[in-house]
Amino acid sequence: MISDVMDKAYFPIQLHEMKAKMRFHALKEESMDIFDATLTSCFVNHASNALGYRLSVAGRSVVYIGDNEPFDREVARAVKNVDKAAVEQFATQKGDPNQRIFDFAREADVLIHDATYTPEEYVDHVGWGHSHYLFSLNVAHEARVRKLVLFHHDQTHTDDEIDEIVRRCRREVRTRSYRFECVAAAEGMEIDW
């Protein structure tokens, strides 16, 4: 996979040209200590192997889920371009298969979550591995996070369209009495947590 990404068509250096001694490990769900922090990974629902990450330190946590689609058992049976290991994790979940994502993000201070599409756009992109903003709001609510950062904006959306999505999300947050702040990720953004 790494050598494919480093193909000469879009990367100037080939993997075999690297002077470093490299070792590759298969993606898996795991937890590891890094200095005073703990980094935990979780399979997410994406067309290819993808993980979400949770970084916890000193009683605070940030969860990053850059690629994730709402998991639906019927859709999973019909879509062929899925990672079988991730599908198995979701499909065997009792009740709502997305509960594993809710649990992974549980009570995070900051959740950075895929919100690529509007709900209307998502209908034409089922199986692409990305969420609509209503699902992202639901993840934040179910997980009881403190701040949701909408991320992985559709590249065809203008800044004005992103601003409108944030307005809609904040209206939903008020209407549903959700208890988290909602913002959109932007270049150069810094978050104090």
Residue 81 has what DSSP assignment? S
Contact between 101 and 86 under an 8 Å Cβ cutoff? The reply is no
In sequence order, what are the beta bridge partners of 181? Answer: 147
Distances (CA, A) of 158 to 16, 138, 186, 192: 39, 24, 12, 26
Contact between 127 and 75 under an 8 Å Cβ cutoff? The reply is yes
Domain ranges of the chain: 29-184
Judge: domain 29-184, CATH 2.40.50.100: no
Per-residue pLDDT tens digits of the chain, which is 193 residues long: 778 878 888 889 888 888 888 888 787 899 999 999 999 999 999 887 889 999 999 999 999 999 999 999 888 888 776 777 778 888 888 999 999 999 999 999 999 999 999 999 999 999 899 999 999 999 999 999 999 999 999 999 999 999 999 999 999 999 999 999 999 999 999 998 7
Cα torsion 104, 146, 127, 92: sign: positive
What's the pLDDT at 193?
A: 74
